[in-house]
Chain A
Amino acid sequence: LFFAFVNEEKFSENGWMVYNPMSEYRRQGLPNERWRVTFINEHYGLCDTYPSLLVVPYNATDDDLKKVAAFRSRNRIPVLSWIHPETQAVIMRCSQPLVGMSGKRNKDDERYLDIIREANGQISKLTIYDARPSVNAVANKATGGGYEGEDAYPNAELFFLDIHNIHVMRESLKKLKDIVYPNVEESHWLSSLESTHWLEHIKLVLTGAIQVADKVSSGRSSVLVHCSDGWDRTAQLTSLAMLMLDSYYRTIEGFEVLVQKEWISFGHKFASRIGHGDKNHADADRSPIFLQFIDCVWQMSKQFPTAFEFNEQFLITILDHLYSCRFGTFLYNSEFLREKEKVSEKTLSLWSLINSEKSKYTNPFYSKELNRALYPVASMRHLELWVNYYIRWNPRIRQQQPNPVEQRYMELLALRDDYIRRLEELQITNNSKISNSSASSTSPSQMVSQVQTHF
């Protein structure tokens, strides 16, 4: 069916080994006395769009989880995405509660959220971020959804993040394409760009993620994130917040884990959003949600050029293979389906390609920093259109490759290493000179002139 199934490329690395949920949770220090791993979804019986392995509060039984599932859209119950190593505050993700027009309540759900709130030992309220504009959240009641009301959840504070739905995002990207293809708008570039709203959407997504991250970090409060189904905007928010809070996700391997975990395993509907291999695919299901997430990551890497181990090429490669079907990584809508189709046995992982030639995707300016929250500035003054991605086919916009700043840095690195090597050699010869005082050393003039051309 897909090329990925007949692709016979060979790579030195096996990308399917990159993500192991158990070891990722262990890296986060889980399970612990407050959080446990549950296998209730081992055969996807609880929720067919969730991964098999879930982390839930220690004090909630599997039976509790089943009851909660009944009150959450598509059974996507609140589960743990990330735990703060110091504050023990957590980022939870889920789908909307099934409140409906009549304003239904569910005692199990209410108790479950309270258990979550108590789990980090703080007395603060649980913060719920509903990614949607409040109008849409209210409107969702008509079809059985809704949001956590104040009466039912007195210990929770709810904020709407005003991020629009998949249809708005699709329309926005379409408008963006219109202004850069086939020709780039010349005279009214800025207002044309503004009229696409693409960067405004990016700004809202980033702003939401900053709020989530800041709440968990300096607010020391656990956070629950959802939208309608919890696989589009929710994935954007949790993964970006995690990227801001946990420097591991800013490495090549860590980012691969982040994508595997928050997007692929938690059922972002790649097949539907991209429309892989479906001629009669309903256009209404397509949406550039994952692209938007990668764009947000690019904006962050642009603002903090030393904070990410990966470079722009890494992000572009991910996006290229999001559509290419060369790898199995982004095929199908859920882990359940991927297992059914034996994707990891029959196809190659994108991470095999990338990890086999890591140097190509490595940012030379990367400086490792641990435990540092990285907050981008979600201001239009700093956000810019990702020209190297959206307008890369236009020869007149093409950026200089390789990047001259990067090239210069690489040259300096090589020069330093060369110096260190020669210095060692020199010390050896000098040491031998002391024992053999008549020996003369080679002239350093060649070296000196080489340096001077650089400075």
Chain B
Amino acid sequence: EIHIKEPIEKEVNPRLLPGELLLCEASTVYKYMQEDGSNRGTYGKLVCTNFKISFLDDDSASDDNEPQFKNKIVGENDITLQCVDQIYGVYDEKKKLLTGQLRKYPEKLIIYCKDLRVFNFCLRYTKEEEVKRIVSGIVHHSQTPKLLKRLFLFSYASAAPNNTDGRNQTVMFETLEDWRDELERTKGNVKYKTVTTNEGYRVSEKLPLYFVVPICISEESILKYEGRGIPIWCWSCHNGAALLKMSAFPKEQDDSTSQMQKAFLDGIYKTISKPPYELLKMDDLSSSLPSLQDIQTAYTRFKQLFLIDNSTDFWATDVKWFSLLESTNWLEIIRRVLKKAIEVAECLEIQHTNVLLIEESATDLCCVISSLVQVMMDSYSRTKSGFQSLIQKEWVIGGHGFLDRCNHLHKSEKEEAPVFLLLLNCIWQLVQQYPPAFEFTETYLTVLSDSLYVPIFSTFFFNSQHQRDTNKSGESLKTQSGPFRFLTVWDWSVQFDPKAQAFLNNPLYAEKPKPDKSQRKTARFKHQRQLSLPLTQAKPSPKRGFFREETDHLIKNILGKRIGKFINSSDEPPNSLREFYDSWHSKPVDYHGLLLPRIDGPEIKVWAQRYLRWIPEAQLHGGGTIATAAKILDLMEEVQSLQVKMDEEHSQAVSGDVHSVPMLRNSARLSSLFPFALLQRQSVKPALPTSTWKDLEDEDDLVKRDDEFVDLSGDML
């Protein structure tokens, strides 16, 4: 059976990472270019490994066309197994979702990716045997349930020489010192303490090894309900008010248990709502924000709008684009989340109250809100290392269940919810509204979102610190000498060379002026702009009923006086929020101070770079925000070369340590999809809608009218 007809096929071998194994392959696969619906494309080999699905172009000789922005781990034609969203087979022009066992093998394979790429492969010219093997291989390895230890993460960690440089400024929050430093940095150490109660995960496997609680909380109470009902510190505001989170008790059927829990909570609330602690406001996020299910449903609908098969599809959905967008509800969820973050910021900043976020596990929406609040209020979180430390603190160590929420193991779709993506989408709104306030670019956010699906970093592949720690030790005695040493996603040099990394740094970032060393300690974390609202500043008599959806079942049972103030007054309109928001927006922006997102209808936008980047029809040749960014980068380059010249003139001068600037040649004609565009080919043909809207039923009478009511027949000579 094995007879080779003509050895036209060059031997193209996939580039494998350490620990990566080739599982199956198929030749003469035809990959369509995702363009104008024509059948143009290239022949090549389709392979599946334990890490990725990869298409190897038969004539990939044109290496001089090396893209400027290249991922070293995941190439243009690579799809990591975790990045596969859905696989469809085409049988007689009909699309069918491929999941488990296959009886018939399709002639075409469409792979939709979580980073929104769409691949079309034609298998008509491939040997039947190979079709069977590759299709079932791909479906099996990317779509069926997996054991944690079968993740590529482990093969890679055991095979790869681990010599990443430690010059990473990100605070990992794995040690007691990291938490202490954070407490000190935010001046929270007066009223809050780090605890070691969870060493050996005595308290809970969901909680991190070390965390911070109010000083008055005893070890016994932490241990009593596995950390439930305990306010855990997130961050302290410059005025001393703190952001706290708490894992709520599940609904109890048993009356005596719930009575005991109630009593326990009352005790806790009493202790932390009397001086020196500020007034306490509580917000049950599970009732005041959309549910995880809502978020998952919205995102599933939303992303579908960008997984476009062809040009016809693009223009057909363009006709009702806005209502399609709205029907997904995704942008509305972003708006509600941003609004909630503004509410919390107002409590902390203006009302000087502590805010306690409550959620069943305190690891989903709590992470979103607390991260957003910190990005808005603490300019350190808007630097690259500060943002990364924040993600470590609130998400990675904080115990967000990345493994379950991303459904990396295909275990249960019920647990899946794009909570972290929701945060990135919200941060992006801020980034595009206030470009000079962030040290990183939207490209940084986009590649960070892509990194969710790259299983060589441990960052997004565990549910908790405990899970990572217990799986770190290696497979008992098997060959492994020491524990696994995982990579962290924050080491960007793993994915990008320095030239590409330059695209992650925002050239518009207005760095914070460094104060004198002597003054540093006191001046460092003070906001430059204090909001002065006379009404709320004088006495802590907070505007009531601030949290509109104050329906938490816990709150109703609270007796403490200082908290009680808020409970009976949820009927007043949230005036203070409006006042806060309007007053802030009426002043010029301090990019190092408090930052509030604009949330009115037209201000919430689609993250075009992430969602439109692979769609050729959406491409603007020589346009888009990259056009101005390129001009800025060109100019920076010029200024830098001038600086070098200056240094040469002062031959003794120390050459300044400057960031490298991405080199953009011919920038005027860059595609707006840059740096992600696959096709930078200059197309001469403009994109024209193939289906247009004509329907104006409601204005029929107007439509039929003529511009001028003049009978032209009378004009004729």
Q: Closest residue of chain B to A104, judged by CB?
A: B716
A197-211 vs B: 1/0 string, CB under 8 Å? Answer: 101100110010011
Check if B692 sits within 8 Å of A207, measured CB to CB: yes
In the assembled complex, A214 has its CB within 8 A of some CB on chain B? yes
Q: Which of B686-717 contact A (CB under 8 A)?
A: 686-689, 692-694, 696, 699, 702-717
A186 to chain B, nearest CB (A): 6
Contact A307 B639 (CB under 8 A): no
Distance of A373 Cα from B711 Cα, bound (Å): 40
Whether A415 sits at the interface, judged by CB under 8 Å, is: yes
For A161-203 the 0/1 string (1 means CB < 8 A from B) is 0101111100100000000000011111111111001011001
Q: Is the CB of A190 within 8 A of B331?
A: yes
Residues of chain A lying within 8 A (CB to CB) of residue B704: 135-136, 139
Cβ-defined contact, B627 with A377, below 8 A: no
Contacts of B508 in A (CB 8 A): 404-405, 408
Pairwise interchain contact B706-A379, C-beta atoms closer than 8 A: no
Decide if B631 touches A193 in the complex (CB within 8 Å). Answer: no
Contacts of A199 in B (CB 8 A): 322
| Contact assessment for A194 and B707 in the assembled complex, using a CB-CB cutoff below 8 Å | no
Whether B318 and A171, one on each chain, are in contact in the complex, defined by CB atoms closer than 8 angstroms, is: no
Q: Do A211 and B688 touch (CB < 8 A)?
A: yes
Counting CB contacts under 8 A, is A145 at the interface? yes
A422 on the B face (CB < 8 A): yes
Nearest chain A CB to B583's CB is how many angstroms away?
Answer: 11
Q: Which residues of B contact A144 (CB under 8 A)?
A: 711-716
Q: Are A207 and B589 in contact (CB under 8 A)?
A: no
Establish whether residues B586 and A395, one from each chain, have CB atoms under 8 Å apart when the complex forms.
Answer: yes
Which residues does chain A contribute within 8 Å of B415, judged by CB atoms?
Answer: none
* A residues less than 8 Å from B167 (CB atoms): none
With both beta carbons as reference points, the residue of chain A lying nearest to B711 in the complex is identified as A143
Instruction: Report the minimum CB–CB distance from B659 to chain A (whole Å).
Output: 5
* A-chain residues with CB within 8 Å of residue B618 when the two chains form the complex: 377, 379, 381-382
Q: Is the CB of B653 within 8 A of A423?
A: no
B346 CB, nearest partner CB in chain A, Å: 16
* B649, A423: Cβ atoms closer than 8 Å: yes
Contact of B636 among A374, A400, A412 (CB under 8 A): A412
Asked whether B620 is an interface residue with its Cβ less than 8 Å from the other chain, the reply is yes
B628 and A190: CB pair below 8 A?
A: no
Q: Are B642 and A419 in contact (CB under 8 A)?
A: yes
Given contacts A184-B602, A412-B636, contact A207 B689 (CB under 8 A): yes
How distant is B335 from chain A, measured CB to nearest CB, in Å?
Answer: 8
Distance in Å: Cβ of A48 to nearest Cβ of chain B: 12
Question: How far is the CB of B521 from the nearest CB of chain A, in Å?
Answer: 21
Contact B602 A227 (CB under 8 A): no
Compute the total of residue contacts between A and B using a CB distance below 8 Å. 260
Indicate whether A152 reaches chain B with its CB closer than 8 angstroms: no
Complex Cα spacing A71 to B303, Å: 54
Q: Name the distance in Å between B77's Cβ and chain A's nearest Cβ.
A: 25
B688 near A143 (CB under 8 angstroms)? no
Q: Within 8 Å of chain A (Cβ to Cβ): is B3?
A: no
CB of B694 to closest CB in A, whole Å: 6
B686 cross-chain contacts in A, Cβ below 8 A: 210, 213-214, 373, 375, 377
- For chain B, give the interface size range: 35 or more
Give Cα A228–Cα B617 distance, bound, in whole angstroms. Answer: 33
Task: Give the chain B neighbours of A455 by CB distance below 8 A.
Answer: 636, 640, 658-659
> A448 CA to B640 CA in the complex, in Å?
11
Q: In the bound complex, do residue B322 and residue A190 qualify as a contact, i.e. CB atoms below 8 Å apart?
A: yes
- Does residue B603 face the partner (Cβ distance < 8 Å to A)? yes
A171 to B704, CA, bound (A): 14
Name the A residues within 8 Å of B586 (CB-CB).
395
Give CA–CA (A419, B694) in the complex, Å: 57
Bound CA span A374–B686, Å: 9
| Cα distance A207–B691 in the bound complex, in angstroms | 11
A447–B716 touching, CB < 8 Å: no
Question: A184-B602, A191-B323, A387-B602 given as contacts; is B706 within 8 A of A136 (CB)?
Answer: yes
The interface residues of chain A lying within 8 Å CB-to-CB of B589 are 400
Smallest Cβ distance from A91 to chain B, in angstroms? 16
What is the distance, in angstroms, from A107's C-beta to the closest C-beta of chain B?
15
Q: Please, how many angstroms separate the alpha-carbon atoms of A136 and B617 in the complex?
A: 31
Q: Is B436 an interface position by the 8 A CB rule?
A: yes
B294 interface residue (CB < 8 Å to A): no
The reply to whether A405 and B435 contact each other, CB–CB distance below 8 Å, is yes
Binding stretch for chain B, among A18-26, A122-130, A298-306: A298-306
Closest B residue to A416 by CB, please name it. Answer: B639
B100 on the A face (CB < 8 A): no
**Contact call A378/B602, Cβ cutoff below 8 A:** no
Given known A-B contacts A100-B713, A453-B513, A441 and B650 have beta carbons under 8 A apart: yes
Chain B 575-602 per-residue mask, 1 if CB under 8 angstroms from chain A, else 0: 0000001100110110000000010111
Cβ of B612 within 8 Å of any chain A Cβ, yes or no, is yes
Q: Judging by beta carbons under 8 Å apart, are B635 and A409 in contact?
A: yes
Pick the contact of B585 from A165, A367, A398 — CB < 8 Å?
A398
A348-364 residues at the B interface, CB under 8 angstroms: none
User: Which residue of B is nearest A303, CB measured?
Assistant: B623
Q: A439 at interface (Cβ–Cβ under 8 A)?
A: no
Q: Inside 8 A of B619's CB, which chain A residues have their CB?
A: 377
Please state if B656 and A448 are interface contacts (CB–CB under 8 Å). Answer: yes
User: Chain B residues near A408 (CB, 8 Å)?
Assistant: 436, 507-508, 510, 632
Which residues from B are CB-within-8-Å of A143? 706, 710-713
Once bound together, how far apart are the Cα atoms of A135 and B702, in whole Å? Answer: 13
**A452 at the A/B interface (Cβ < 8 Å)?**
yes
Q: How far is the CA of A427 from the CA of B6 in the complex (A)?
A: 68
Q: A303-B624, A305-B627, A416-B635 are in contact. Are A189 and B707 (CB under 8 A)?
A: no
Of the A-B pairs whose beta carbons lie under 8 Å apart in the complex, a sample of 18, sorted by A's number, is A73-B712, A100-B712, A184-B600, A184-B601, A197-B696, A211-B688, A306-B627, A373-B684, A379-B314, A380-B322, A381-B606, A387-B602, A395-B582, A395-B586, A396-B598, A397-B600, A404-B436, A444-B647
In addition to A377-B686, A380-B318, A396-B582, 11 A-B residue pairs with Cβ atoms within 8 Å of each other are A135-B703, A168-B702, A190-B322, A190-B601, A191-B322, A210-B686, A213-B686, A396-B585, A397-B602, A416-B642, A444-B646
B contact set with A: CB distance below 8 Å:
314-315, 318-323, 325-326, 331-332, 434-436, 507-508, 510-511, 513, 581-582, 585-586, 588-589, 598, 600-604, 606, 608, 612, 617-625, 627-628, 631-632, 635-636, 638-640, 642-643, 645-647, 649-650, 653-654, 656, 658-659, 668, 672, 684-689, 692-694, 696, 699, 702-717
